[in-house]
Homo-oligomer: A and B are copies of this chain.
């Protein structure tokens, strides 16, 4: 009979934990954490180039200010009087379609279209008014320096493959068709590189989570250590506004 709980990730053999076939004990003191992450996700150990490329991508995600919704939710939950892990969990929940989803979106776009013609794809997206994920930036209008750097590293490490090439062609086609540049942003370049490293787009959000979780942990810890409980409460008069019905009387019949 097939069991409901099945896994290919890890198991116990003779009471010892094994991860992807390797004894966990043997990995301690021998792998870097990045190698460990790669092994767990991909099923095999990375070589040096893969490890270094992976490090570059994860470091680019490690923390990104107090502003985003994930930090708001994480710190608000912590301020309600919760343990650190509950705040961290609430932070991760914020990573919906519009937050942290761009790498995954770009990976999907590249992986599903890489064998098609760039100009035709760009045209069809523009005609259907669909944004192409991984392009455009609020400040950078000529080039995104992070993407330039990422792609440089990819070339150096041997991960500038068909997805990266395709990603650059898409950037050019967008400029042609739109008449102005939408720079390949860091989600686009990371997405292209991860695709050339062989990562399935459906794990893209997971890579973002692994990369960003140190930042969330640090923020929740900061909230718990430095702030008073319930500090994350809105001041109705200064921070909120009401657009609902004015005060009104409860109808007579309820006063029976």
Contacts and interface: CB of A to CB of B under 8 A. Distances in A.
A177 interface: no
Contacts of A31: 55, 59, 254
A239 interface: yes
Interface string A188-219: 00000000000010110111011101110111
Nearest to A94: B80
Nearest to A229: B98
A85 B81 contact: no
Number of copies of this chain that the complex holds: 4
A20 B67 CA distance: 16
B8 A242 contact: yes
A21 B64 CA distance: 13
19 contacts: A3-B239, A6-B242, A7-B240, A9-B215, A9-B219, A9-B222, A13-B247, A21-B248, A24-B60, A28-B146, A28-B149, A36-B58, A41-B221, A67-B240, A73-B73, A77-B93, A77-B96, A88-B206, A90-B93
